[in-house]
Amino acid sequence: MQVLLEDDEFDEIRRVAKRQRMTVAEWVRQALRRARRDEPAVDAHKKLAAVRAAARGDYPTADIDRMLQEVEGGYLGGHDA
């Protein structure tokens, strides 16, 4: 890979790399790794579309007290609460 920089920009990167006791090449590799890591793995529009699709769903539910009773029964080994 070759990246062309203005002289003043390259000089600044060289100074920063030197302060961190690394070569310019290593500084650039680490900067690229950080940039890649910070980039979201999934597009925000795709995430939002998935949430909206899930919100449109019609899912079975029950009274909250009944659901909590069933959950507790499951923890205690009961089949039906």
User: pLDDT per residue over 25-57, tens digit each?
Assistant: 999 999 999 999 988 777 889 889 989 988 888
Q: What confidence score (pLDDT) does residue 18 get?
A: 98
What is the Cα–Cα distance from 32 to 28, expressed in whole angstroms?
A: 6
Instruction: Dig out the tokens for 64 from the structure.
Output: 């909250």
Q: Is the pLDDT of residue 80 over 90?
A: no
Alpha-helix residue ranges (DSSP H) falling in the chain: 7-19, 24-38, 44-56, 64-75
Ramachandran quadrant class, 59 (left: phi over 0; alpha: psi -120 to 50; beta: rest): beta
Q: 10: Cβ–Cβ under 8 A, 6 or more apart, which residues?
A: 24
What is the Cα–Cα distance from 45 to 47, expressed in whole angstroms?
A: 5
Instruction: Dig out the tokens for 37 from the structure.
Output: 């890591």
Contact call for residues 13 and 27 (beta carbons, < 8 A)? yes
